[in-house]
Amino acid sequence: MHRNISTFIVASIILILILGLLLSMLFLKDMAIYITVIALGAALALQKYVASFFGYFVIILFKPFSVGNRIRIGNLKGDVSHLGLLHFTLDEVGEDEKLGGELTGRLLYVPNLIILDQSVLNYSKVYSTKGAQINCEYIFDEVRVPLTTNSNINKAVQVLEETIAAHDSQFIEEAKKEFKDNYPNFLDEVSKSPRILVHIEPQRIWLKGKFVAPFRIKNELRTKILMDFAREVGKNSDIKFAS
């Protein structure tokens, strides 16, 4: 409530300054220069609020994101829950080992001016296809598995590929139905590029498997893929996990 009142007061001051400047130039020409100086001084004092105020209209007009989208901007990441005249609110999402991809329970109040000089990564950006706008919640993610150098890598690749396909095939089909024939690059890559990549190190061999998932459940799906892969590997004595 206090935040909403502050936003209203600052927005009102900005509008009054603009209106006062225009009226003074029209009806008080002798005082216009003084009022202009005062207005410029006030604008400088409130420049961050002014930038955030205009940043709101940038968000509304150009739609880099909207309520419900998951975004990363600068070092902040979260789900947009509110758009205001001076700030937008994010439900914070953790990174990597710190609750990677999961809500932390904290709220981030971000000034709108940040979008004027920061890139926005929108995980649920709207795509355009054949003149229509549709939401895409599907992204590429990966699982990484370390194996010993004497493991049967060909068999391990086959097991991981089959495991991933069993879990993400439904999401690939759902995404293709939404996009019809106009796929985003990552969906086109599913059918044209290897799903499993092999990286060799002196002490271990890494299998990296790419899968398609809705961004909100990618962690859950990654866990299921790894658990099923581990269960299948347990049936093969010639495939061993590396430490």
In the structure, what pLDDT confidence band is assigned to residue 149 with cuts at 50, 70 and 90?
very high
In the structure, what pLDDT confidence band is assigned to residue 130 with cuts at 50, 70 and 90?
low
The answer to whether 139 and 124 have CB atoms below 8 angstroms apart is no
pLDDT of residue 19: 64
How many domains does the chain divide into?
A: 3
Whether residues 218 and 145 fall in one domain: yes
Query: Which tens digits make up the pLDDT trace of 207-240?
Result: 999 898 887 788 889 999 999 999 999 998 899 9
Residue 2 has pLDDT above 50, yes or no: no
Tokens describing residue 198: 């092999």
The residue that leads in pLDDT, 91 or 7, is: 91
Predicted model pTM: 0.61
In the structure, what pLDDT confidence band is assigned to residue 138 with cuts at 50, 70 and 90?
confident
Whether residues 87 and 173 fall in one domain: no
Whether residues 120 and 141 fall in one domain: no
Span 152-163, mean pLDDT?
A: 95
Whether residues 165 and 111 fall in one domain: no
Span 121-146, mean pLDDT?
A: 71
Domain hosting residue 107, numbered range? 61-124
Nearest residue to 122 (alpha-carbon basis) of 55, 186, 195, 215? 215
Q: With respect to residue 152, please indicate whether it lies within any of the assigned structural domains.
A: yes
Q: What's the distance, CA 69 to chain centroid? A: 7
- Cα dihedral 147, 150, 153, 159 sign: negative
Q: With respect to residue 120, please indicate whether it lies within any of the assigned structural domains.
A: yes
Query: What's phi and psi for 118, nearest 5 deg?
Result: -125, 140
Q: With respect to residue 165, please indicate whether it lies within any of the assigned structural domains.
A: yes
What interhelical angle do 153-179 and 218-233 show, nearest 10? Answer: 150
Question: Which of 124, 159, 177 is the endpoint of a domain?
Answer: 124
Q: How many residues does the chain have?
A: 243
Q: With respect to residue 13, please indicate whether it lies within any of the assigned structural domains.
A: yes
In the structure, what pLDDT confidence band is assigned to residue 1 with cuts at 50, 70 and 90?
very low
Q: With respect to residue 159, please indicate whether it lies within any of the assigned structural domains.
A: yes
Q: With respect to residue 70, please indicate whether it lies within any of the assigned structural domains.
A: yes
Whether residues 229 and 147 fall in one domain: yes
Q: Please name every residue paired with 88 in a beta bridge, in sequence order, or none if there are none.
A: 83, 110
Query: Which tens digits make up the pLDDT trace of 48-104?
Result: 877 888 899 999 998 888 888 888 898 898 889 999 988 999 998 877 644 456 778
Tokens describing residue 214: 């809705």
Q: What's the distance, CA 2 to chain centroid? A: 29
- CATH code of 102's domain: 2.30.30.60
Question: Which of 124, 148, 163 is the endpoint of a domain?
Answer: 124
Nearest residue to 89 (alpha-carbon basis) of 206, 208, 209, 4? 4
